[in-house]
Structure 1
Amino acid sequence: MARVICAGHVNWDVTLSVDRLPGADGEATITDQSQSCGGSASNAATGLAALGNDAAILGSVGDDENGHLAARALDSAGVDSDALVVTAAETAVKYLVVDPDGEVAVLGNEGGNEAFGSDDLDDATLAAADHLHLTSQDPDTAAELADRAHNHGLRVSFDPGRRIDARDFTAPLARADLVFVNEREAATAIEDHLGPADGLDKTVVLKHGAAGAEVLTPCGHYASHDGFPVEVVDTTGAGDAFAAGFLTVWLDKSDPEFDRCLAVANACGALAAGERGPSAPLSRDRIESLLDE
């Protein structure tokens, strides 16, 4: 299996299930509550480890109870957290408000989840890896990490996430070999960063949620997969689980079969959406069972 370094946010997530998402001046009833380690880098690394990859993480947490809990959760999941930076700032906490249809609203503090820099990942660790997966983070840090990864012969993937329209990700998007975006993010990415679809210089994976996903490559190869029916409980982390599944297949072959990449990725996303919390309960057996169905 591949050695993958995931760089980006490590948070402590508080998931609040509610009977509805309230509007302005509205009120909702909390029906369930749970806490866990979260953040896109953490979710992706945990998913990759669950699928048998050698996963490591570069991120930052505070020297507080939430930071200690997050670090222990990563260790328990089998993620190498040697490059996890402990900062004086508080660990970022995200409150995930989930309605009965699995739709999510996010509240959070900034915390210390961007207190790490490119130089917190040493050359030996980077050189020993097969791939660098970047998630939402400081754009300059992401671009520097991508440059260093390419210097060591690694390929780079980037999942900019929901903040793509609020941050200038031009540099890391330009340096990525593989980009993950959903429909909303794609509108910003293609218009502002990637250029027209017929001029792509990288592989782009477009996620459609329950409707599946498609992939476009620079050489014009196209593949799609319709996804899997699932009773949605919580969409938190489903995109990160999708990325973990896609990368597991993509990195396992020098000439990847994109149909298989998308099928496994969609299975991972469906499994994540069918469970509460950001850390998807992934396993190869569960994926193969879903594919067989």
Structure 2
Amino acid sequence: MDLDVFVIGGVGIDTIVRVPGLPLPPEETVHVQPVRSYIGHTGHGVVLGCHQLGLATGLADVIGDDPEGARIRSAYAELGLPLAFAIHPSGTRRSVNLVGPDGRRLSLYDGRQPWGLRVDPNLWRGNVARARHVHVSIMDFARWALPDVLAANCTVSTDLHDWDGENEYHRDFAQAADLVFVSTSALRDKAIDWIFASGRAQAVVAMAGSEGSYLYVRDEEPVHVRAVHIPGRPVVDTNGAGDAYVSAFLTTWLDGRSYQEAAEAGSIAGAWACGSPGTHTDLITAEQLMLLRF
């Protein structure tokens, strides 16, 4: 196996608009700082984050035959990272993310691709067979990869993002993963119990932003992992912080360390990501993570 982490789904273009505050004032015109765009979204964040930490990574996704898709293809070629892609006429996913002075964001997500989209499974099959671990993003087309991933000799993770614990859309992903990441922003009571009862998860990580994260390991008491403050690196943009957390968690866990150590590494990486403007512009390296851990 020559890929450490292979990611299915989740690359697109983020347009970042730095606004004077959230919510926006009720005005017809709001003056903002220069508007910039980045290659982003959740799957790309995990690919790039793990790559920065020294793992061999790759991505499979559906993009468009458009300037955004060309930008993604060019970037992966420049990085030397495997990119398996299918072209769909709906185009490449995009989002416009409004970011306030405190780094909080509001994401306006344009998923574009139609519900029920299915693609040739060869998009992912060859690389899944090469991978130690597969991270499946919650793109609708990616749910059709789950049987192939489960049949492979690898571990599996997913990030449910702002799942409320009830939306049926997320359940296939939650049930298939050994490691489940989820935000606490909309999570309802008993959702984590449901994940353990209904799926194969050995650990669930509930990410709570500035409040840190909560680590649930099957048949153990939950643990609160405090948020990290990095001196001299204040929060300026929370875009991509969750992806950075997932990347450092996976890298540490795949290195044979405990879930607790992995969550602590994730907290550091998430805090580091918040210290740079834009999406995935300055993800933590293995050397930086080691210095901050010890």
Q: What TM-score, normalized by structure 2, do the two folds share?
A: 0.86
Stretch deviating more after TM superposition (109-118 or 1-10): 109-118
Aligned to 1:161, what secondary structure does the other structure show?
Answer: coil
Q: Quote how far apart the aligned CAs of 1:116 are.
A: 6.1
Deviates more, 1:205-214 or 1:127-136: 205-214
Q: How many angstroms does 1:168 deviate by?
A: 1.7
Tell me what 1:274 maps to.
Answer: 275
Match of 1:44 in 2: 46
CA distance in 2, matches of 1:101, 1:70: 29
Q: 1:281 to 1:249 in 2, by over 3 A?
A: same
Bigger shift: 14-23 or 44-53? 14-23
Other-structure match for 2:244: 241
**Residues 1:175 and 2:192 aligned together:** no
Aligned partner of 1:136 in structure 2 is 138
Are the counterparts in 2 of residues 20 and 28 from structure 1 also a CA contact under 8 Å? Answer: no
Deviation at 1:283, TM superposition (A): 0.6
2:81 alignment partner, one of 76, 79, 82: 79
- Distance across 2 between alignment mates of 1:260 and 1:192: 23
Counterpart residue type for residue 292 of structure 2: L
Compute the RMSD of aligned alpha carbons: 2.8
- Structure 2 unaligned spans of 5+: none
Say which SS state the counterpart of residue 29 (structure 1) adopts. Answer: coil
Identity of aligned residues (%): 23
Give SS of 1:210's match: helix
Whole-angstrom CA distance in 2 between matches of 1:86 and 1:189? 39
Query: What are the superposed Cα offsets for residues 209-233 of structure 1, whole Å, 9 maximum, x if unpaired?
Result: 1232231111326444212114211
2:152 corresponds in structure 1 to 152
Q: Which residue matches 1:14? A: 15
The verdict on how the C-alpha distance between 1:241 and 1:191 changes in structure 2, with shifts beyond 3 A counting, is closer
2: distance between equivalents of 1:195 and 1:244? 22
Contact between 2:192 and 2:204, CA under 8 Å: does it hold in 1?
no
Q: What is the CA-CA distance between 1:185 and the residue it aligns to?
A: 4.4
Specify the code of the residue in structure 1 equivalent to 2:146.
A
Query: Matched residues in 1 for 2:35 and 2:283: separation?
Result: 18
- Following the alignment from structure 2 to structure 1, what is the Cα–Cα distance between the partners of residues 3 and 54? 9
Change beyond 3 A, Cα 1:78–1:283: farther
Q: Which amino acid aligns with 1:219?
A: D
How far apart are residue 276 of structure 1 and its match? Answer: 1.0
Structure-2 change in CA distance of 1:9 and 1:55 (3 Å): same
Secondary structure of 2:188 counterpart: helix
Cα distance in 2 between the residues matched to 1:53 and 1:21: 37
1:163, 1:273 → 2: CA distance?
Answer: 22
Write out the 4+ residue segments of structure 1 that deviate beyond 6 Å after TM superposition: none
Which runs of 5 or more structure 1 residues have no equivalent in the other structure? none
* Aligned equivalent of 2:63: 61
Partner of 2:218: 218
Tell me, yes or no, if structure 1 residue 229 matches structure 2 residue 229: yes
- What TM-score results when the alignment is normalised by the length of structure 1? 0.86
- 1:124 aligns to 2:126 (yes or no): yes
User: Take 1:22 and 1:207, find their aligned partners in 2: how far apart are those partners?
Assistant: 23
For residues 156-205 of structure 1, give each alpha carbon's deviation from its aligned partner in whole angstroms, at most 9, with x where no partner exists: 101022366665211221111110012124327807952679x9853101
SS of 1:121's equivalent in the other structure is helix
Judged with a 3 Å threshold, the aligned counterparts in structure 2 of structure 1 residues 188 and 135 are, in CA distance, closer, same or farther, namely farther
